Structure 1
Amino acid sequence: MMGVVRADIGPMVLALAAGAAGAFGAQAVSLPLPWMLGPMCVCTALALLKVPIRGPMPIRPPMIAILGIMLGSGFSPEMLGRASQWAVSLAMLGAYVATVGALAYPYFRRVGGYDRVTAFFAGMPGGLNEMMLVGHAYGGDDRRIVLTHASRILLAVLLIPIFFRLTTDIDMSNRSAFGVSIDEVSLKDYAILATCAVVGVPVAKLLRLPAALLIGPMIISAFVHLMGWSASQPPREIVNLAQWIIGTVIGCRFVGVARAEIFRVLRISVGATAIMLAVCAFFALLLHWLVGMEVDTVVLAYAPGGLAEMSLVALALGTDVAFVATHHMVRIILVVMAAPAFFRLSARWNKGRDRETRRE
């Protein structure tokens, strides 16, 4: 076991070094979110070139927990008065998920050539690990499911910041957008925020919440900030560190997959991501028309990217991080809870229809 761990250290260090180089390079050319997109793009390219890299998975959990704490810090006592305004957009998340699934499923079946199970769980807008595990349990191709979701996240995280960079005057390559410096947070606040991770992770696991490492600390941190026990901002150095690790891990998800399969799934995922983004834009415009919500904020809240990644974009844009993070958390929970149940119902319906067809 120790030999395997030691053998992985070199490829992990190489991936992190490449990711750091990508971050500095992306920052030099003013790419939006350089500390996440730079490592992500460089490590994806190295994976395609079969360079022996490996995602730094052992250090990912604490980074995810730190990010959850930072997302929770976006909540404040003042937002309690605005929470009722979220009711409509949260209620429409179910319609959004259903619409995406209804459009993505036939796309993956007819264009991608996926089998029924794989197409269903690949078309769900969220829950990469959960959809892979449940899809595999029902007989789907778990490798293709996770590769499709990884491609969706890759494309969404790449395209959405670039879109905002081109359509707004916000410089997302400016690290000062991510709050205060690390020496501006008091030791008391650090102790309070660290406690959020220590308490949040086991509580989320006990409650069987999806993405427990992220959602647990986020919920406890949100509670702490809503109660006014801490008002500390996320230090930008820690945000950059989290982006670096997350971007490197995303790029390394393609390691070990045949180049032809990666290009094939990426090609298919371009169409699927375009469908999801179109549905996202439709709901953003609809909510703007119904209740006057800002289109940019709703796009980030409904975007088919990861909770962590889209929340980082929200931080960069200076939009309502609590709004964005809460919607993504609800979306993930909704997908994880509803997708397996709906698949079982549709499977029974298909079996009944097949029996009727055979009788005829």
Structure 2
Amino acid sequence: MTFPRSSRVGRAVCVLATLALAWAAARLCVWLHTPIPWMIGPLLATALASLAGAPTASWTPLRNTGQWVIGTALGLYFTPQVGALVASLWWVIVLGIVWALLLGLGFDCWLQRVHARHLPGLSAGELRATTYFSGAIGGASEMTLLAERAGARTDLVASAHSLRVLLVTLCLPFGMLFWGVTGLDLAPPAVRDVAWPGLGLLALLTLAGAVLAQWLGRANPWFMGALLVTMGITLSGQVWSALPPELSYAAQLVIGVSLGVRFTPDFLHTAPRWLGSVALASVVMMVLCAAFGWGLSRMIGMHPATMVLGTAPGGIAEMSITAKVLQLGVPVVTAFQVCRLVAVLVLAEPVYRLWVVRQQQRRHKAGVE
């Protein structure tokens, strides 16, 4: 919800009310024994309230703090042994990156075909940029910024990524629970006990890493900065402290809220046919990624659930949280998601330029013939 700059008190009240709603929803999901209750409960409750027109709000510093906590918690899984395992899977990670790029191009082609005549006011170039960056499996904010530079309809791009992440975040945990594959992780965190001096030092160093990543303009700086610093500490064999479970719960809650508040009443009015196409394509992408992950698991002898999460077309924080809470190969899932995110961010624009040139050459050739 948009607030006047002068209405700081009003916005603060909305943030507190939203957090209270999210906490109540999380407690209800805990009581119902749903998967990932501290993220799914707040996500669903906030999204439904936002769609109903309630004045929900998310505070950016809280979301950043949540990502900082989750990045730190995931980094604790990267012991030297786990680091060697992940390094040995480099070729599988490359396959996952290639798969993600190809899947995004397929999504782009389908959206172009479906919406060539159903998005009035868009030129051919705007449509091409909009469908391409909507299909790319990257971070919502980063893809929206790249789309803006390419002249796309950024509202359609943002809505596509928001809806895809919502569907994946909701469907996969329940799918894993129905599958009955929780608690299979053979690589627990390097340390399970909370040691307050070590926790304080870990917090200071990871905070510095997050601030540095933000200053450098990196993607997901609060998550990636904290993750990389913690990984470096843990990979070196240092064992300082675990994180209190309550911190992880709070982080999941604020991340769920930050996703839920995107779904305002205006969201439903943003080209309903477009949202329907994105929803259908997202479901197809989940099925294809699950099949691809299953195939990779057969090649490397790893449990299929880990590879399904590693190749899932969801957000990096959301899929890593799912792996952490359900104990399904956290380091492998995190490594796959992080490497894919970085690769897509680096390659999205060059691939787009090559893709556009190829399409133009194909159309020119067809016109000549």
Q: TM-score, normalised by structure 2?
A: 0.88
- Structure 1: give runs of 5+ residues left out of the alignment: none
Distance of 2:343 and 2:91 partners within structure 1: 16
The 4+ residue runs of structure 1 with deviation greater than 6 A are 177-181
Q: Does 1:27 align with 2:36?
A: no
Q: Deviations over 1:152-196 (max 9, x none)?
A: 111001000000111116389xxxx99999xx5112221232123
Distance of 2:132 and 2:5 partners within structure 1: 39
Contact 1:179 1:235 in 2 (8 A): no
- Further displaced range: 126-135 or 343-352: 343-352
Q: Deviations over 1:314-357 (max 9, x none)?
A: 11121221111111111111111111111112223334445555
Tell me the equivalent position of 1:69: 72
* CA apart distance, 1:261: 3.0
Which of 92, 102, 127 is the matching residue for 1:99? 102
* CA apart distance, 1:149: 0.5
Which of 305, 312, 324 is the matching residue for 1:303? 312
* CA apart distance, 1:77: 2.2
Contact 1:151 1:265 in 2 (8 A): no
* CA apart distance, 1:242: 0.5
* CA apart distance, 1:287: 1.3
Q: Does 1:315 align with 2:327?
A: no
Tell me the equivalent position of 1:152: 164
* CA apart distance, 1:55: 1.9
- Further displaced range: 254-263 or 19-28: 254-263
Which of 202, 210, 220 is the matching residue for 1:201? 210
- Further displaced range: 76-85 or 303-312: 76-85
Q: Does 1:119 align with 2:111?
A: no
Tell me the equivalent position of 1:162: 174
- Structure 2: give runs of 5+ residues left out of the alignment: 120-126
* CA apart distance, 1:62: 1.6
Q: Deviations over 1:228-276 (max 9, x none)?
A: 2225333211110001101111110112525343865543232121222
Which of 266, 279, 304 is the matching residue for 1:270? 279
Tell me the equivalent position of 1:248: 257
Tell me the equivalent position of 2:86: 83
Distance of 2:234 and 2:137 partners within structure 1: 29
Distance of 2:311 and 2:262 partners within structure 1: 24
- Further displaced range: 64-73 or 278-287: 278-287
Distance of 1:261 and 1:97 partners within structure 2: 26
Distance of 1:170 and 1:178 partners within structure 2: 16
Contact 1:301 1:328 in 2 (8 A): yes
Tell me the equivalent position of 1:228: 237
Contact 1:100 1:275 in 2 (8 A): no
Q: Deviations over 1:88-131 (max 9, x none)?
A: 32121232112311321122223355621111001011221110
Which of 9, 12, 20 is the matching residue for 2:12? 9
Tell me the equivalent position of 2:49: 46
Distance 1:81 1:359, change over 3 A: closer
1:87 maps to a residue whose letter is W
Distance of 2:275 and 2:25 partners within structure 1: 21
Q: TM-score, normalised by structure 1?
A: 0.90
Tell me the equivalent position of 2:151: 139
Distance 1:356 1:88, change over 3 A: closer
Report the identity percentage: 25
